[in-house]
Amino acid sequence: MVKRWAGRHAPSLEDFAALAEAAIAALPPEFAQHARTVALRIEDFAPEDVLQEMAMEDPFGLTGLYSGVPLPEKSLFDQPMEPDTIWLFRRPILEEWIERGDVSLGALVTHVYVHELAHHLGWTDDDIAVVDRWWE
């Protein structure tokens, strides 16, 4: 069993970006066009100031985050301070993937990405279910 893992490495930040890009490419066109207007950041963990702001002590507790103004709340008069961004946090996602053991890494990255995109789009749970049939 040990030999099977010899020379292997955990998926990199670039690998995660490729998985997220695949998730975007698989979205229905009406959602994908909005997804492409949101910046994507892949980091090992959420920044310390974000964790403090969210009152989270465990950095493994946050797999993804949307920062920005959701589309339904945007106004033409708003002056954006920074771009809308979806953050995916590699180490917490890997930890969840290992703990679950019943889902592919690509499916989990897609699941986290879609839920963060839902914050941007102002989706309901029914809207999310059209794109992310997680429970099936």
Task: Give 69-122 pLDDT, tens digit per residue.
Answer: 887 888 777 776 789 999 999 999 999 999 998 999 999 999 999 999 999 988
The residue among 96 and 2 whose pLDDT is bigger is 96
Q: How confident is the model at residue 2 (pLDDT cuts 50, 70, 90)?
A: low
Q: Which residues pair with 57 in a beta bridge?
A: none
pLDDT at 136: 60
Taken in order of first residue, the domains within the chain and their CATH numbers are 10-72+81-131 (3.30.2010.20)
CB-based contacts of 45, cutoff 8 Å, min separation 6: 51, 59, 62, 89, 90, 91, 92
The residue-averaged pLDDT of 32-38 equals 90
